[in-house]
Amino acid sequence: MQTKTVKVPKDFMLGAAVSAWQTEGWDGKKPFQDSYLDLWYKNNKHVWHNGYGPAGATDFYNRYKEDIGYMKEIGLTHFRTSINWSRFLTDYEEAVVDEEYAAYIDRMINELLANGVEPMICLEHYEVPAVLFEKYGGWGSKHVLELFVKYAEKVFERYGDRVKHWFTFNEPVVVQTRVYLDAIRYPFEQNTKKWMQWNHNKVLATARVVQLFRTMQLKEKYGAKIGVILNPEVTYARSTAKHDQEAARMYDLFFNRVFLDPAIKGTYPEELFTLMNKHDITFNYTEDELNMLRENTVDYVGLNLYFPHRVKARSTAWNENTPFHPEFYYEKFDLPGKKMNPYRGWEIYPQIMYDMAMRMKNEYGNIEWFIAENGMGVENEQRFKDEHGQIQDDYRIEFIGQHLDWLLKAVQEGANCKGYMLWAFSDNVSPMNAFKNRYGLVEINLEDNRNRRLKKSAYWYKDLIESRTLVV
Binding site for ligand BG6 (CB under 6 A): 19, 22, 170-171, 231, 304, 373, 377, 423, 430-432, 437
What whole-number distance in Å separates Cα of residue 335 and Cα of residue 346?
12
Identify which of residues 50 and 319 has a Cβ nearer to ligand BG6 in the complex. 50
Min dist. Cβ of residue 329 to ligand BG6 (A): 24
Identify which of residues 186 and 324 has a Cβ nearer to ligand BG6 in the complex. 186
Identify which of residues 276 and 303 has a Cβ nearer to ligand BG6 in the complex. 303
What whole-number distance in Å separates Cα of residue 149 and Cα of residue 202?
11
What whole-number distance in Å separates Cα of residue 34 and Cα of residue 24?
13
Rounded to 5 degrees, what angle do the CA atoms 341, 347, 353 make? 110
Min dist. Cβ of residue 365 to ligand BG6 (A): 26
Min dist. Cβ of residue 422 to ligand BG6 (A): 11
Q: Which neighbouring-strand residues pair with 64?
A: none
Q: Checking DSSP bridges between strand 225-230 and strand 118-124, what pairing results, if any?
A: unpaired
Identify which of residues 175 and 275 has a Cβ nearer to ligand BG6 in the complex. 175
What whole-number distance in Å separates Cα of residue 431 and Cα of residue 406?
29
Min dist. Cβ of residue 178 to ligand BG6 (A): 11
Burial 312-322 (b: 16+ CB within 10 A, else e): bbeeeeeeeee
Identify which of residues 19 and 197 has a Cβ nearer to ligand BG6 in the complex. 19
Min dist. Cβ of residue 80 to ligand BG6 (A): 10
State the catalytic residues: 171, 373
Min dist. Cβ of residue 184 to ligand BG6 (A): 13
Identify which of residues 17 and 281 has a Cβ nearer to ligand BG6 in the complex. 17
Residue number closest to ligand BG6, CB atom = 430
Min dist. Cβ of residue 439 to ligand BG6 (A): 6
What whole-number distance in Å separates Cα of residue 425 and Cα of residue 416?
24
Min dist. Cβ of residue 317 to ligand BG6 (A): 32
Identify which of residues 233 and 327 has a Cβ nearer to ligand BG6 in the complex. 233
Identify which of residues 81 and 192 has a Cβ nearer to ligand BG6 in the complex. 81
